[in-house]
């Protein structure tokens, strides 16, 4: 899991006047499940298409196992793609679709039949080989696309939002199946999505992208718990994001009140951004909290309740399995560990997603 299987060096791509990728560098390790996560138009799909060989970068190179593959045609690359669109070959049976890459390579008929059986089994479509694809559901068609892409055992599978067309339940079960597939096959997955939940659930590594630049790379836990700028904080999960002032190490002033925190190295009396996740906003007795507020609305969200608390002129979002009724006066308490301090954005792409 340590050697660089794919490396992108300083990739830039501009369409007309719009810069889609801006000096983008990233490497992917062997057998990694890496997810490119970002809003639509952030450049993640373009990046995947450059890896697949369907687009050429304006500048920068792509390396596979140390070899420059930037100018290699898609059919010469050891990577396969599962497209976002339906790219099933509707004039062929399911088995012929899946067998496509093996037939191109001239694999013997008996071997093909054997491999197709295995691939069908792997994606849970046993016995569907003789069907024509137009008799299948969207979820089944997507499985055919996956089976078709993995049958020739590529070293890397590129997946471009493969589950976005499926309904929630199916999407969730396919997430587990993709993880299982990756474990069974030992293939490196590069996965593109705008769905943060999908990214956090499946990945070993999440790369948050906005404006054609990497905002943060890390394990899903790090991305969620320790966002490094307002964009990541805002795009991943929900949060209370504040303009704050770093008084000194381990003390930050939020809305005029000093909160102890654990972050160091942000200077003294320095403007910073702070994110506090809603589940970390603890509602206690008015006297016991750091600041006081009033619950202005309550939503039932299934697993938890979501309370809107007005305190010091800010609507705090708080989540708890314990309901606090509307109108209650409450105190807000934050564990120093749960205050995440971030540097102020220096570029527009680092700013909050909603305000960008």
Partner 1 sequence: MRRRSWLAAPFILWSAAFIIIPLLLIVYFGMTDGDGAFTWSNLAAMAEVDNLKALGLALLLSLSATLICLILAYPIAMILAERRTSSGTLIAMLFILPMWMNFLLRTMAWQTLLEKNGVINTLLHVLRLPSVTLIYTPSAVVLGMVYNFLPFMILPLYTVLSKIDRDVLLAARDLGAGPWQTFLRITLPLSTPGMISGITMVFVPSLTTFVITDMLGGGKVQLIGNTIEQEFIQGSSWHVGSGLSLILMIFVLISMAFVAKYDPQQSGSLIGGGGRE
Residue from 24, 33, 83, 259 in contact with partner 1 (CB under 8 A): 83
Which one of 88-96, 173-181, 310-318, 345-353 is the stretch in contact with partner 1 (CB under 8 A)? 88-96
- Return the number of the residue (17 or 85) whose C-beta is nearest partner 1: 85
In the list 21, 37, 45, 53, the residue contacting partner 1 (rule: CB under 8 A) is 53
For residues 295 and 283, give the distance between their C-alpha atoms in angstroms, rounded to a whole number.
10
Q: Does 155 bind partner 1 (CB under 8 A)?
A: no
Distance CA 90, CA 67 (A): 35
Find the binding residues for partner 1 in span 92-131 (CB under 8 A): 100-101, 104-105
The C-alpha atoms of residue 212 and residue 207 are separated, in whole angstroms, by 12
Nearer to partner 1 (CB atom), residue 162 or residue 211? 162
- Residue numbers 287-346 binding partner 1 by CB under 8 A: none
Residue 162, burial from CB neighbour count under 10 angstroms (0-12, 13-18, 19+): buried
Our finding on whether 171 is near partner 1 (CB under 8 A) is: no
Tell whether residue 52 is a contact of partner 1 (CB under 8 A): yes
Q: Is residue 54 a contact point for partner 1 (CB under 8 A)?
A: yes
Report if residue 269 touches partner 1, rule: CB under 8 A.
no
CA–CA separation, 128 and 139 (whole Å) = 13
Question: What b/e sequence results for 208-222 when a residue is b if at least 16 CB atoms lie within 10 Å of its CB, and e otherwise?
Answer: bbbbbbbbbbbebee
**44 touches partner 1 by CB under 8 A:** no
Residues in the chain: 356
CB of 17 or CB of 75, closer to partner 1: 75
Q: How many residues bind partner 1 (CB under 8 A)?
A: 25
Residue 92 beta carbon to partner 1: minimum distance, rounded to whole angstroms: 8
Euclidean distance between CA atoms 44 and 90, whole angstroms: 28
- For partner 1, the binding residue among 15, 65, 91, 184 (CB under 8 A) is 91
Contact between 149 and partner 1 by CB under 8 A: the answer reads yes
Residue 44 C-beta: closest distance to partner 1, Å: 16
Edge-first strand listing for the sheet containing 282-284: 282-284, 329-333, 291-300, 305-311, 314-320
User: x/- contact string, 55-74, with partner 1 (CB under 8 A)?
Assistant: ------------------xx
- Contact positions toward partner 1, by CB under 8 A? 52-54, 73-75, 77, 80-81, 83, 85-91, 100-101, 104-105, 145, 148-149, 152
């Amino acid at each position: 899991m340590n050697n660089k299987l794919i490396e992108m060096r300083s990739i830039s791509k501009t369409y007309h006047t719009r810069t889609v990728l801006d000096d983008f560098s990233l490497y992917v390790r062997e057998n990694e499940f890496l997810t490119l996560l970002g809003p639509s138009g952030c450049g993640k799909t373009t990046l995947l298409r450059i890896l697949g060989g369907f687009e050429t970068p304006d500048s920068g190179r792509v390396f596979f196992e140390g070899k420059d593959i930037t100018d290699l045609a898609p059919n010469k690359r050891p990577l396969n793609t599962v497209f976002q669109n339906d790219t099933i070959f509707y004039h062929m049976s399911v088995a012929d679709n899946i067998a496509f890459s093996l037939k191109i390579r001239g694999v013997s008929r008996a071997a093909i039949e054997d491999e197709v059986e295995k691939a069908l089994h792997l994606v849970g479509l046993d016995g569907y080989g003789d069907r024509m694809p137009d008799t299948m559901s969207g979820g089944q068609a997507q499985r055919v696309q996956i089976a078709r892409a993995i049958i020739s055992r590529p070293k890397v599978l590129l997946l471009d939002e493969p589950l976005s067309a499926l309904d929630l339940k199916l999407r969730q079960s396919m997430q587990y199946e993709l993880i299982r597939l990756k474990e069974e096959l030992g293939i490196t997955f590069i996965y593109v999505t705008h769905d943060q939940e999908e990214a956090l659930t499946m990945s070993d590594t999440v790369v948050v992208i906005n404006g054609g630049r990497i905002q943060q790379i890390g394990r899903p836990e790090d991305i969620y718990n320790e966002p490094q700028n307002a964009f990541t904080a805002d795009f991943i999960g929900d949060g209370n994001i504040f303009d704050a002032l770093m008084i000194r190490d381990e003390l930050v002033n939020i809305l005029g009140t000093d909160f102890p925190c654990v972050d160091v190295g942000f200077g003294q009396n320095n403007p910073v951004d702070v994110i506090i996740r809603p589940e970390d906003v603890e509602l206690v007795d008015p006297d016991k909290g750091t600041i006081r507020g009033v619950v202005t609305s309550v939503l039932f969200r299934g697993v938890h309740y979501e309370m809107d608390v007005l305190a010091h002129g800010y609507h705090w979002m708080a989540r708890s399995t314990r309901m606090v009724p509307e109108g209650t006066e409450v105190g807000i308490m934050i564990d120093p560990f749960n205050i995440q301090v971030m540097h102020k954005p220096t570029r527009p792409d680092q700013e909050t997603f909603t305000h960008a």
